[in-house]
Amino acid sequence: MKNLLIQIVQALVDNPEQVQVNEIESVQTVVLELRVAKSDMGKIIGRQGKTANAIRAILNAASGKAGKKYLLEIVE
């Protein structure tokens, strides 16, 4: 799931080498903390959060097979 998130985000940003994902795992949930360059923050969030919500929807759909809930946090 982490690799899926990295591939999606790297395709959207201008500085793909600065994409970092930290995975925090608990019993039933996994939090994916996403860090990008400050100049790319707007591209990840999108207008009114539409891009971020779309990424969350993809993670939610892909997490069905994993049996865990994946949450995306965008960290500055």
pTM, entire model: 0.90
d(CA 75, CA 22): 10
* Beta-bridge partner residues of 35: 20, 75
Class of domain 2-75: alpha beta
Distances, alpha carbon 59 to alpha carbons 38, 39, in Å = 23, 24
* Residue boundaries of the structural domains of the chain: 2-75
Per-residue pLDDT tens digits for 13-54? 999 999 999 999 998 899 999 999 999 999 999 999 999 999
Structure tokens at 52: 């971020």
pLDDT at 6: 96
pLDDT at 76: 84
